[in-house]
């Protein structure tokens, strides 16, 4: 109860006495530990993990992302420890009456959501990055492990500099700290200015770690640094739009990795990995939409799943492809500047991208980004595009339906509430004669009419001129959908794959053809003979991505067939497929 009635239009300062003990587990403000091997003793540290809604357990706050505030943080600790927080230290003063204890006072933060507040008291060593970059960049870990942070300290400023260039917005804080936490439930957390990581997500030892370990560390750091713009500078208004944070960070990380090391082929391979996860996990009737209403704190954690991360990244890449690189970057720059230090929802993103797309003519006026993208974010699943060619008139007709792989299958397809979906689909395609796999922009939009007839395949081609030419949709897997062709077109594709010029088909599309053919056969949409005839070409394939697609499906078949009498035949067939490729790879290595 207040002592007197508050007067309107007056400012009041509310002081609250608040006490919160360290909590168990790895959320809120908690205690972690590590083993000091040199001294053979356990060392302790404190650290925070406030996402999604644990800041309220550490201090009084409106613990929702839309309530941004500035934070003035002061930590009391023994002088043998280091105190870290989102901002640099302004001063340290002795605590009166407590020998060797200090108050460490930090600069006031920029406006930010409570879940991004972070602080830690520890005895770690700091490794400063040697860089001409204007931001102070330090990586923190136990002294015995600090050498394993050299790679993280090296690539961090490079990634931050790259993101500043592509977003055309400077990183707004004076420093970045990367902190290795021994006990940490998340892979990493993008707290503004003090990013926390699992040790395995930050450490890399050249003498003991693999190239895969190196790429994983790079991917995680690239993801967290991308969040400094997507999530920290501009934050989703509510948890239903978490994909605006995580989808962007997942996608932008692939661009960052490609910038770090071209030989990793990270952009293509990570994009394929994201696509394959989505095509598998989003094909069940139990899946959810990317943007899903949530109302209780207990539901927030459920949003951190492949639909948010992977499908979010896939549809962002789709927008990048159908708007074009310049339009996409200009639209994102507008979005970030317009909502800097504030919050946004998906409609705000659509608005900025639509303005850029129409300004630069990269999207027809009758469409806007919201009309297209709402069909991808507000409903679950993805489409199966069925293609029928007219080989005399050089045209094709396409239609769509939702693709489902549930065992309930045929019964469910009759249930329109589940199986009927409608998407605005950007359709890119190429024919064998030109085999142009660089043109990823849509040549046709399949709208929610569900069918488009008599689409010309090549302008000014004589009748029947393309009858012996294969057709492939979804160049470089621009969008998340499966494609089923008529039998003649499948046979034309198979003929090329088994010939010596199969590399005329882009690596990502070779992976797509394997993935689609086997998935369609599994679900009864395509004869298994066609799928297996196509798969046989892989004996001559040395690229990673087609094999990644093949092994994913072969593993599924393996789990079923190992219970049957045909298992031995299956093993022989797989051995034949693999042994020729392995022998070819060894021969290539010897030539090197």
Q: Which residues are annotated as a binding site for Zn(2+)?
A: 223, 227, 246
For the chain, how are helix, strand and coil distributed in percent, rounded to 5? 40, 20, 40
Token couple for 356: 């850029």
Query: Is the backbone of residue 67 left (phi > 0), alpha (psi -120 to 50) or beta?
Result: beta
Query: Is the backbone of residue 239 left (phi > 0), alpha (psi -120 to 50) or beta?
Result: alpha
Per DSSP bridges, beta strands 383-390 and 482-484 are parallel
Q: Residue 537 carries which DSSP code?
A: G
Interatomic CA distance for residues 320 and 158, integer angstroms? 23
Spatial contact of 188 and 198, defined as CB atoms under 8 Å apart = yes
Query: What is the phi/psi pair of residue 541, to 5°?
Result: -90, 125
Spatial contact of 225 and 160, defined as CB atoms under 8 Å apart = yes
Q: Residue 230 carries which DSSP code?
A: B
What is the Cα gyration radius of the chain? 27
- Reply yes or no on whether 413 is catalytic: no
Q: Residue 398 carries which DSSP code?
A: E
Please give the angle made by the CA atoms of 498, 504 and 508, to the nearest 5 degrees.
95
CA-CA distances (angstroms) from residue 220 to 13, 189, 216, 223, 510?
41, 10, 6, 5, 28
Closest CA to 162 of 252, 234, 247, 244: 252
Closest CA to 178 of 147, 143, 218, 221: 221
Spatial contact of 49 and 221, defined as CB atoms under 8 Å apart = no
Closest CA to 372 of 331, 313, 427, 419: 427
Per DSSP bridges, beta strands 119-122 and 82-85 are antiparallel
Per DSSP bridges, beta strands 41-49 and 28-36 are antiparallel
Interatomic CA distance for residues 38 and 144, integer angstroms? 8
Token couple for 436: 């142009």
Token couple for 24: 């168990």
Cα dihedral sign for 226, 231, 232, 233?
Answer: positive
Per DSSP bridges, beta strands 234-236 and 136-141 are unpaired
Interatomic CA distance for residues 231 and 246, integer angstroms? 8
Query: What is the phi/psi pair of residue 85, to 5°?
Result: -155, -170
**Active-site residue (options: 51, 224, 270, 466):** 224
Residues that are catalytic: 224
């Amino acid at each position: 109860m207040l002592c007197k009635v508050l007067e309107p239009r007056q400012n009041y300062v509310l002081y609250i006495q608040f006490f919160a003990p360290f909590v168990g587990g790895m959320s809120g403000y908690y205690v972690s530990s590590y083993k000091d091997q040199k001294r053979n003793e356990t060392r302790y540290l404190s650290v925070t993990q406030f996402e999604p809604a644990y800041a309220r357990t550490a201090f009084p706050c409106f613990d929702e992302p839309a309530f941004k505030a500035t934070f003035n943080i002061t930590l009391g600790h023994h002088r043998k420890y280091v105190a870290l927080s989102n901002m640099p230290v302004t001063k340290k003063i002795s605590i009166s009456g407590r020998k060797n204890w200090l108050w460490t006072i930090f600069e006031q933060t920029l406006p930010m959501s409570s879940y991004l507040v972070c602080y830690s008291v520890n005895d770690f060593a700091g490794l400063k990055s040697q860089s001409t970059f204007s931001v102070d960049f330090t990586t923190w870990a136990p002294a015995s492990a600090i050498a394993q942070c050299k790679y993280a300290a090296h690539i961090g400023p490079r990634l931050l500099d790259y993101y500043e260039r592509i977003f055309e917005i400077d990183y707004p804080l004076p420093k970045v700290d990367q902190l290795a936490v021994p006990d940490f439930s998340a892979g990493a957390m993008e707290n503004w200015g003090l990013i926390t990581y699992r040790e395995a997500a930050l450490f890399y030892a050249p003498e003991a770690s693999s190239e895969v370990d190196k790429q994983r560390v790079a991917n995680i750091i690239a993801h967290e640094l991308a969040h400094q713009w997507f999530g920290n500078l501009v934050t989703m208004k509510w948890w239903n739009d978490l994909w605006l944070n995580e989808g962007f960070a997942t996608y932008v990380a692939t661009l960052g990795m490609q910038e770090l090391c071209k030989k990793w082929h990270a952009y293509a391979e990570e994009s394929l990995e994201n696509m394959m996860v989505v095509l598998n996990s989003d094909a069940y009737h139990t899946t959810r939409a990317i943007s899903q209403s949530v109302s209780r704190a207990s539901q927030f954690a459920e949003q951190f799943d492949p639909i948010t991360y992977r499908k979010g990244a896939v549809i962002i890449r789709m927008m990048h492809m159908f708007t074009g690189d310049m339009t996409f970057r200009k639209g994102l720059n507008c979005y970030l500047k317009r909502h800097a230090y504030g919050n946004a929802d998906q409609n705000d993103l659509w608005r900025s991208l639509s303005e850029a797309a129409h300004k630069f003519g990269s999207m027809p006026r009758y469409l806007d980004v919201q009309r297209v993208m709402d069909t991808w974010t507000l409903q679950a699943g993805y489409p199966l595009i069925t293609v029928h060619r007219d080989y005399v008139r050089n045209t094709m007709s396409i239609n769509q339906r939702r693709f489902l792989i549930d065992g309930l299958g045929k019964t469910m397809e009759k249930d329109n509430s589940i199986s009927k979906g409608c998407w605005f689909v950007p359709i890119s395609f190429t024919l064998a004669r030109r085999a142009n796999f660089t043109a990823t922009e849509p040549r046709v939009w399949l709208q929610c009419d569900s069918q488009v007839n008599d689409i010309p395949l090549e302008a000014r081609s004589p009748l029947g001129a393309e009858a012996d030419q294969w057709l492939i949709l979804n160049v470089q897997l621009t969008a998340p959908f499966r494609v089923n062709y008529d039998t003649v077109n499948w046979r034309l594709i198979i003929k090329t794959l088994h010939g010596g010029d199969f590399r005329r088909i882009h690596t990502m599309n070779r992976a797509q053809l394997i993935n689609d053919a086997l998935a369609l056969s599994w679900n009864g949409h395509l004869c298994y003979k066609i799928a297996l005839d196509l798969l046989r070409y892989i004996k001559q394939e040395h690229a990673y991505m087609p094999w990644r697609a093949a092994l994913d499906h072969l593993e599924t078949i393996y789990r079923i067939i190992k219970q049957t009498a045909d298992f031995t035949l299956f093993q022989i067939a797989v051995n034949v497929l693999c042994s020729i490729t392995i022998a070819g790879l060894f021969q290539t290595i010897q030539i090197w």
